[in-house]
Amino acid sequence: MVHSLSPEDLPPELITDLDAALKRQLEVAICRHFFETCDGSTQSLLMLCRWTINITEVVILHIYCSDQEKNWRVLDRMTRLAEYLSQLSPRAKIRVHPPSQMEAPFDMRVDERSV
């Protein structure tokens, strides 16, 4: 069965500056909510890294680690991060960017945390 949407229900063909600004405000609000949801030790770890949340087709938490020790600490905390992030979206993803550009980022969907 094919469902077609009416034109007013379709996304706009062009994204305006206002659309981009509203999207950025939403991402900032989601970052704040996510951080406030985390426990103190997770907040402390996040403060040691650069991180952001972007909305594309799904919510993606990007964590940029400045050294290998922080990278390992973040990877060790992935299950807990996924629990917090899943409260925002059950389809969310986490991407951990290692300190070296030579290494590939580690990706995990929040629904993989029980695997």
Mean pLDDT by 10 residues, the chain (115 residues): 71 84 93 96 97 93 95 95 95 94 90 72
Q: What is the pLDDT of residue 101?
A: 76
CA distances from 18 to 7, 21, 25, 26, 92 (A): 20, 5, 10, 12, 25
Q: Specify the pLDDT at position 14.
A: 84
108: helix, coil or strand? strand
Q: Please give the model's pTM, rounded to 2 decimal places.
A: 0.84
Q: Identify the three-state secondary structure at position 39.
A: coil
Question: SS3 of 62, please?
Answer: strand
Helix, strand, coil shares of the chain as percentages rounded to 5?
Answer: 45, 20, 35
Give the model's pLDDT for residue 57: 85
For residue 8, what pLDDT is reported? 80
Type and span of the H or E element at 86: helix 78-86
Instruction: Report the pLDDT value the prediction gives residue 3, as an integer from 0 to 100.
Output: 59
User: Treating both helix axes as pointing N-terminal to C-terminal, what angle do 68-76 and 78-86 enclose, rounded to 10 degrees?
Assistant: 60
